[in-house]
Amino acid sequence: MTRSGGDPGPEPGQWSGVGQLERDLILTDDDFTQIRKLIYQRAGIVLAEHKREMVYSRLAKRLRHHGLTRFSDYLARLARQPEAREWEAFTNALTTNLTAFFREMHHFPLLADHVRQSSGPVRVWSAAASSGEEPYSIAMTLLETLGQRAADARIVATDIDTEALERARAGVYPIEQVRKLDEDRVKRFFHKGKGRHEGLARVRPEVSALVEFQALNLLAPQWSIKGPFDAIFCRNIMIYFDKTTQARILERFAPLLKPNGLLFAGHSENFSYISKVFRLRGQTVYTLADHR
């Protein structure tokens, strides 16, 4: 992205590797170090050195919103107001939301087989719900698998990103994204928009009725949700945490799972070497280590 006007060149200590990105905002080395520290403290996210361009581009609009030109002024404002809502915007800006319906498809038949054998109401936790595609995929799976029993099922969908959760609650998606599903699922689980809503699709009420969205920081000392769950989906989020944080979260997951419950991880995540609480059951699927 480029901006109109001349490029004054980097200030002393300012990053000079932004290429063609706008450079009208001043981001020093100290600013970047402080941002990395703050997002780790607030959300457990470890930002690597090469994420500097991402930090600049994502936080730039927050500075412009407040009429600021220096990241140091923005950080000073956050420090003066530890309870301000701007902290939420700061965290949202630095949170990555990459998701899709039925992403990592092999997990959903495993979930279906698991809940088919359950005796009571099914409960599932989507711990990184993002904009809703994962919990709605879980809901569709439960509706297909449980039939009338699905009415008693509940999916708790949490995320630290409040803006993503608002999109999730709306349940409206570009039709191009929905068309990637098979035609039967599209017909059964979505309303296609017409008129001014042309090109969009909304999940049907029977799908959204199964899902409860709420904001939750996995690093918070207390979690507002209660178990036990038949399954926990914690996919493609642990990669942003260091091993100490990963181990702590896994320890907290354990008492929230039913004895035979399943923990689903992302394709690039391996919990076997992080915690002895869980053991690998299948491809990126774990169960409690003391359950046989």
Q: Which residues are catalytic?
A: 58, 159
Q: How far apart are CA 209 and CA 238, in angstroms?
A: 28
Contact between residue 69 and residue 8 where contact means Cβ atoms under 8 Å apart? no
DSSP state, 51? G
Q: How far apart are CA 14 and CA 31, in angstroms?
A: 9
Can you say whether residue 162 is alpha, beta or left, with left for phi > 0 and alpha for psi between -120 and 50 degrees? alpha
Q: How far apart are CA 209 and CA 247, in angstroms?
A: 33
Pairing of strands 123-126, 229-233: parallel
235's tokens:
């996919």
Contact between residue 168 and residue 138 where contact means Cβ atoms under 8 Å apart? no
Q: How far apart are CA 292 and CA 273, in angstroms?
A: 20
Q: How far apart are CA 235 and CA 264, in angstroms?
A: 6
Residue (of 59, 2, 66, 3) closest to 31 by Cα position:
59
Q: How far apart are CA 269 and CA 24, in angstroms?
A: 38
Contact between residue 126 and residue 158 where contact means Cβ atoms under 8 Å apart? yes
Q: How far apart are CA 235 and CA 266, in angstroms?
A: 4
